[in-house]
Amino acid sequence: MPSLRTSAIICSVKSHGEHGAVVRSLTPENGLVSGYVRGAHSRTMRPILIPSNIVQADYRSRTEDQLASMTAELQQSRGPFLGEPLASAALDWVTALTAAVLPEEHSYPQLHSALSALLDAICSAPSAKGWAVALVRYELLLLSELGFGLALDKCAVTGSAEDLVYISPKSATAVSAGAGAIYKDRLLPLPAFLIEPVTPEWDDIFDGLRVTGFFLNRHFFADRRKDVMAARSVLVDRLKRVVA
- Listed in sequence order, the DSSP H helices in 172-243 are 177-180, 202-216, 226-243
Whole-model pTM over 0.85:
yes
Dihedral sign, Cα of residue 131, residue 45, residue 231, residue 31: positive
- Listed in sequence order, the DSSP H helices in 102-198 are 109-124, 129-145, 177-180
pLDDT of residue 227: 81
pLDDT of residue 225: 65
Q: How far is CA 48 from CA 53, 75, 193, in A?
A: 7, 9, 37
pLDDT tens figures, 109-124:
999 999 999 999 999 9
Distance CA 193, CA 170 (A): 22
User: For residues 163-201, b (16+ Cβ closer than 10 Å) or e, as one string?
Assistant: ebbbbbeeebbbbbeebbeeeeeebbbbbbbbeeeeebe
- Which contacts (CB < 8 Å, 24+ apart) does range 153-160 have? 153/195, 155/179
- Listed in sequence order, the DSSP H helices in the chain are 85-101, 109-124, 129-145, 177-180, 202-216, 226-243
pLDDT of residue 197: 92
pLDDT tens figures, 200-237:
999 999 999 999 999 999 999 987 667 889 999 999 99
Distance CA 57, CA 45 (A): 13
The H or E element that residue 217 is part of is none
Distance CA 131, CA 133 (A): 5
Listed as ranges, residues in the chain with pLDDT below 50 are: none
List residues bridging with 36 in a β-sheet. 22, 69
